[in-house]
Amino acid sequence: MYAIVDIAGKQYKVEKDKFVYAPLIEGDEGSKVDFKNVLLVDNDGKVKVGTPTVKGSVVSGKILEHVQGDKVIVFKKKRRKGYKKKNGHRQQFSKVLIEDIK
């Protein structure tokens, strides 16, 4: 059984007892979270597609920890002008354990 869920504008394929690294979610580590924007549910070959969401479907999970992603380097240069700019950042993620798909 799996589902396609919209979390913060991004779509994720989630399965029970698996981890998902989603964009930073408000809440403490160990707290429960419910995702109500379920776009598709596959239950052993029986597929329900939402228009735009599946009514009555909820994916529940638990926030395990808040982590940072790999460093992303942003380098800008204009040739023969002497212009170089180097910036970078690390994206914030929440590690979520999917507990149930209803």
With helix as H, strand as E and coil as C, how does 30-65 read? CCEEEECCEEEEEECCEEEECCCCCCCCCEEEEEEE
Residue 93 forms beta bridges with which residues? 23, 67
Distance, in Å, from the CA atom of 1 to the CA atom of 23, rounded to the nearest integer, reads: 23
pLDDT, tens digit (0-9, with 9 covering 90-100), for 65-83: 999 999 999 999 999 999 9
Assess contact for 35 and 22: CB atoms under 8 A. Answer: no
Domain boundaries, position 43: 2-101
- The set of residues, in sequence order, having a beta carbon less than 8 Å from that of 68 and lying 6+ positions away, is 90, 91, 92, 93
What is the average pLDDT value for the chain, to the nearest integer? 97
Average pLDDT over residues 10-38: 97
Which band of pLDDT confidence, cut at 50, 70 and 90, is reported for residue 88? very high
**Count of domains observed in the chain:** 1
pLDDT at 90: 98
pLDDT at 39: 97
* Predicted model pTM: 0.84
